[in-house]
Amino acid sequence: MNKYSNSISSNHPLHQKNIITDNTKNEQKHSSDKKKTPVIVGSINQFNIHTYRIIGKKGEGTFSEVLKCQSVKDGKYFACKKMKQRYETVEQVCSLREVQAMKRLNPHINIIELHEIVFDRRSGTVALVCELMEMNLYELIRGRRKLLSELQVKNYMYQLVKGLNHMHQIGIFHRDVKPENVLLKDEQIKLADFGSVRSVYSKPPYTEYISTRWYRAPECLLTDGHYSFKMDMWSVGCCFHELLCLHPLFPGQNEIDQVAKIHDVLGTPSKFILDKFKHRNQAIDFNFPAKSGIGIEKYLPHVSQGAIDVIYKLVDYDFDTRITAKQTLSLAYFRDLREADRRRQSRVESKSRMSTEEVTPRKSTKRDENNNISKKQPSKPQDTAKPRIKDTFGSGKSQYGKTNANYLLKQAQQRQTKLYQKVR
């Protein structure tokens, strides 16, 4: 067991899978992925020529570049994330945090899907082939003048929180949620870029300079790496605000300016809250100037009070009272989207049941076999009336008490004959 797993009992379900920590080499022995992603060992150049055709470059980051490629086999388009770092073995590739995280998170409707992994043993290059999306949320609002509708942004944030809720339930937090890492296609949101993920159950301190500064929670700025999965929710609140007004909420120029920008909007926190940060960082002077804060409402005069309340819950300075992803999904603000989700899910389940019943024949029972026999040999319709039985005792009545017609006819003929003889 590695040093980050001490807080989990040995029978915890996450011990049966990979926990995303720094010591990924030891954890690889216990990996048990839900979905097997193929690792193709071969030349990247051969991969490009024989399997995929490179269309163009989508973007480039600090650690990777993203290419648009097309499958030669079926013509489908994919996004190829080519890592800049070099690796020596397949084991190193499989122990990458991003690879482990994507294997465990897939499949989910709001998580980018990993199609396959390509490793060039000679050059040490690794490429992750994922599904292709149209754009990210930053590209959606970059240079835009007309505001997005609140309903549209609300739908985007609901999907983003669903993806994060899935991550947190599995035991992973993202640490770099920002508009550039939230992808969009046909009004469907998918979370991407899992290179900075960590385990929810690992122990701090973590890396201090993680996440992009504008979306960094106060506990990331004011402590020596003592933060948790709730930092993701702070980032969601910043993204929510930015999509609604097309401007970042806390655009700090540096670490000190970032804290000042937060206090300008939210106000200086109370001594009770600041004391939670003090014992986690002895090098910072926490005697901040007192500010009341201008509030989020100043930047969002066109937005409903319900949306503003949600943002305040997400960017709560106190990480203990900050709302979680699961709690966010249960808010009254998202009730209509929750109900739409339930209706959609019920339709999918009903269609699935119908298709299963059509494909899978029902097992025949003994009753069905009897019915089939009766259909093959149809019997004559039986008379519901009780059958007449021959009068064997000369009483003129059957055993059911009914008079025998033949007997009565004979008596009538005899009386008529006697009467005719008298008349003569």
Which residues participate in catalysis according to the annotation? 176
Picking from 181, 83, 194, the residue whose alpha carbon sits closest to that of residue 139 is 181
SS3 per residue for the chain: CCCCCCCCCCCCHHHHCCCCCCCHHHHHHHCCCCCCCCEEECCHHHHHHHHEEEEEEEEECCCEEEEEEEECCCCCEEEEEEECCCCCCHHHHHCCHHHHHHHHHCCCCCECCEEEEEEECCCCEEEEEEECCCEEHHHHHCCCCCCCCHHHHHHHHHHHHHHHHHHHHHCEECCCCCHHHEEEECCEEEECCCCCCEECCCCCCCCCCCCCHHHCCHHHHHCCCCCCCCHHHHHHHHHHHHHHHCCCCCCCCCHHHHHHHHHHHHCCCCHHHHHHHHCCCCCCCCCCCCCCCCCHHHHCCCCCHHHHHHHHHHCCCCCCCCCCHHHHHCCHHHHHHHHHHHHHHHHHHHHHHHHHHHHCCCCCCHHHHHHHHHHHCCCCCCCCCCCCCCCCCCCCECCCCCECHHHHHHHHHHHHHHHHHHHC
